[in-house]
Structure 1
Amino acid sequence: MDGWIAAWRQKNDYRRRRNWLWLLTAVLILFTGTGWGVMNYAWKQVSLQIDDREVTVRTFAGNVGELLKEQRIELQPGDEVLPAPDAPIARGMVIAVKRAVPIKVIADGQERTILTVSDTAAAVLEKAGVTVRPEDRVTPDLAATVKAGDTIKVVRITYNEETVKREIDYKVERRLDGSLEKGLTRVVQKGQKGLIEETYRVVYEDGQETGRELIGTQVIKEPVPEIMAVGALDTASRGGYEFRFERVMWAVATAYTHTGSRTATGVYPRVGTVAVDPNVIPLGSRLYVEGYGFGVAQDVGSAIKGNRIDVFVDTEAAAARWGVRRVKVYILR
């Protein structure tokens, strides 16, 4: 009897221990599941992008700023974070950190370097406080993305209207005059310049003129043409002789006498020999010189240039009496 009771008690104790073991296991499972659920609820998975790199992290952080501290990510001046550091963390969130880079900005006569994230030229200029007008020229294009070390240049384009007055040259009208010797001219009516007002559209780049376009004209004063009488008479009569000539010209005439040398044409000078500038009167031309008579262009002289001639006379006294005169020279046919 005592053996049976001992066996029953032993069996009953085993059952109680087994029930307690199952109860303890159930409690552990319950707490473990609850803890995992709570932890899983608080532990969020997010994507962290830093410039061109992206990693996936799990965090208990409450906001973006705490996550960055947790990941030991320090923000430098000009860096940008999206969403903002005070934004709460949510599952599946993408957090982007853009590092600032140096970009040079040239505008309004100033050159400076700013720290900003890589962005379009338009966005960088806005951050730099540079206002761009439609007529301004920006390099690179406003829509272009700028990177570290790039330069953005803004050229200010301005326009202005400028009015200037300009003289108008007069025309010369030539009219044949049968009473005037061929080769001579006479001013019948003196010409007068006109006046015109021109309006230009002037283009400036950073204050420097780079171009202008004529947009309007107004004649204030019409020019007056000069009327020139042109000689048509080609015959003359001197000392009972009548002759025809190609042309007549005014010249300054001096005189010279014997030097013992031959002329430029190889003959010895004699009365009727005339020194000329061959560029004006060809050598060999037959001439009639007022106050001297008929002659031939046979010589040259170092001082005889342009409308100058030197007539030959027999004596030094005659040369002195001649002196310096302004005479008509007829170039004969």
Structure 2
Amino acid sequence: MNCEDTKTAYWIIAVLGFVFATLGFASSKAVAVYIGQELHVGVTFQKTISGALQEMGLKIDPSDRVVIKPAGFVVSDMDSTFRSGEKIEFEKANPVIIQFDGMRKQILCTRKNLRNAVSKIGIKLGPLDRIQVSEDPYRPGTMLTRVVRVEHKLVRRKERIPYEIDYVPNNQVHQGKVAVWKLGSGGEREDLYREIYEDGKLVTSTFISTRISHRPIHEEMAIGEAEMPGGAIEKILVEATAYSPTVAECDADPWTTATGMRSGYGIIAVDPAVIPYFTKVYVEGYGYAIAGDCGGAIKNNIIDVFFYKPEEAMRWGRRKVNMYVLEWPKRSQR
């Protein structure tokens, strides 16, 4: 109803009130009732809201919604009194089928009072939950409603950052050879998302921010430039066996070494009391390697070189070879 209609209603109420008061009907009341978009104006001798509405031919149900204007408060007791000149907004309750948490219930309520009605029958609504309303196509006048459980979550997801490989000329590595000179390791980042779930199902996921928790370390590959194992500090005669990454030859986790390195070609097992971990060496017949693991049978001058396939390890067998120490580890690594 627009502003002009409202002014007209007030004018009619005032006129009717004045006329009936002049005629001596002191107990009469002028009343304006809005039913939907329709305005009904009249005079009643009823004292209560329910009496005035029933006098106008309306059937009253406790589930109906009545609002007193212009104060705007919702009437909880239909038998309460009202003053002459007050406007009454009336909304008739209709059958409503409510679907929630896998169950169904039918109640009587108005569209505007739906959320309160749902709470009164014991359905707890969260602050973000919403009620979805539609008309029942098979039963005119019946509303179909569904309680949608809405949940917002902040979700952190960890993602691995691959490391890069740098190729660097090296005069301690034979010409034509490429060797791992410095092991790389992957980093890790943590991505933060805001996710919205409806009835337990993901609806939207919005990226918010990212944070690097561990930065990746570049792997350095040495490109050989020396005619001999240049810069060798020491030559050691060793007995070299070979192994492959199997549980039978290693342990329950054959891909993780005693130093935390990942097993791979160029990682050898040593006796750390003789050859400290992280020592860089050159093994005749095998190539460049780093001392990164140990073993129960690896004592004194025995080393164990890595191969990916068991048959390669078997072909290597057990042999005596010269091992050239290219670089001892820094004290902080020992």
Q: TM-score, normalised by structure 1?
A: 0.40
Higher alpha-carbon Rg: 1
Report the TM-score, using the length of structure 2 for normalisation: 0.40
